[in-house]
């Protein structure tokens, strides 16, 4: 068995990487991260090109370190939130998640709806934390899921807080697609929405990503007014009519201010 393990580890040596096993480990993480339901060891082997032995050792190591969990019911490996938390934005060395916890609880209690914390991850939004609502029927997401920035309130409020140069660069590399009839899927429509978002101080999502779901969000900014994230309320459409947007929007602004104060204290 020792000879086999050494041989299989050496098969990665022909790759153009100084540390090929590290490259394989990253390939495993990326493959599992692309699938919300996780992957079995066999599926990891197929998607990464790792040997079965190497895939097992990489997966087992990641589970031991807390970066993955192995679901007993279907033997699938899924990412934990540890990898997300290790690279989350920080201000004055404070954790964004910890700094936002009390404000998220307060916003949930005010709105009775699910509250999420989102950051920008590349050209998409990434759900960093979530607090479940109090109603019997709730809109829920998943920590770690990635969403197009332009089709949700927290993503749009982050875009609205970018500098002109940063926003232009994002527009250059992003293809706008319509997910519902309300998606701001053209440059003109999106820029107009972002302008109105800046004036209000909060963003609105009129079922732009998923039909039947509306959201309101406010930006969390650092000491230099740069966006480090957004805090958002998610609700079924019937519980968030147009007349409630200003009220919920102000709650989001207040919650974001609380997070900022905690980050900078």
Which parts of the chain are beta strand (E)? Answer: 68-70, 77-79, 90-91, 94-95, 114-121, 124-131, 146-148, 203-206, 213-221, 227-236
Residue 129's DSSP bridge partners are 117
Classify domain 2-80 at the CATH topology level: Arc Repressor Mutant, subunit A (1.10.10)
Provide the sign of the torsion angle of the four alpha carbons 78, 80, 83, 87, taken in this order.
positive
Average pLDDT over residues 119-127: 87
For residue range 197-237, list pLDDT tens digits in order. 999 999 999 999 999 999 999 999 988 888 999 999 999 99
User: What share of the chain in percent tops pLDDT 70?
Assistant: 88
Structural domain boundaries of the chain? Answer: 2-80, 85-264
Tokens of 109: 């209690």
Mean pLDDT rounded to a whole number for the chain = 87
**Total residue length of the chain:** 265
Nearest CA-CA partner of 170 in 153, 187, 183, 189: 187
For residue range 172-203, list pLDDT tens digits in order. 889 999 999 999 999 999 999 999 999 999 99
For residue range 91-111, list pLDDT tens digits in order. 456 789 999 999 999 999 999
Classify domain 85-264 at the CATH topology level: Beta-Lactamase (3.30.450)
Exposed, middle or buried: residue 1 (CB in 10 Å: 0-12, 13-18, 19+)? exposed
């Amino acid at each position: 068995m020792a000879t086999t393990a050494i041989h299989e580890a050496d098969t990665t040596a022909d790759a153009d990487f100084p540390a090929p096993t590290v490259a394989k480990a990253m390939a495993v993480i990326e493959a599992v991260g692309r699938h919300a339901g996780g992957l079995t060891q066999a599926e990891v082997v197929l998607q990464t090109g790792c040997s079965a032995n190497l895939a097992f050792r990489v997966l087992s190591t990641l589970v031991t370190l807390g970066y993955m969990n192995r679901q007993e019911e279907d033997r699938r490996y899924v990412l934990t939130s540890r990898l997300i938390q290790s690279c989350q934005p920080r201000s004055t060395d404070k954790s964004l998640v910890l700094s936002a916890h009390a404000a998220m609880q307060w916003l949930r209690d005010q709105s009775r709806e699910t509250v999420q914390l989102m950051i920008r991850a590349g050209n998409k939004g990434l759900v960093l934390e979530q607090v479940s609502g109090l109603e019997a029927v709730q809109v829920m997401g998943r920590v770690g899921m990635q969403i197009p920035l332009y089709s949700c309130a927290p993503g749009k409020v982050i875009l609205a807080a970018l500098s002109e140069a940063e926003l232009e660069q994002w527009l250059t590399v992003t293809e706008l697609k319509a997910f519902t009839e309300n998606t701001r899927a053209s440059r003109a429509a999106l820029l107009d929405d972002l302008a109105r978002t800046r004036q209000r101080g909060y963003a609105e999502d009129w079922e732009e990503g998923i039909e039947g779901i509306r959201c309101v969000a406010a930006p969390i900014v650092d000491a230099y007014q740069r966006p480090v994230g957004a805090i958002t309320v998610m609700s079924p459409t019937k519980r968030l009519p147009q007349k409630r947007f200003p009220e919920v929007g102000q709650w989001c602004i207040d919650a974001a201010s609380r997070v900022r104060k905690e980050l900078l204290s």
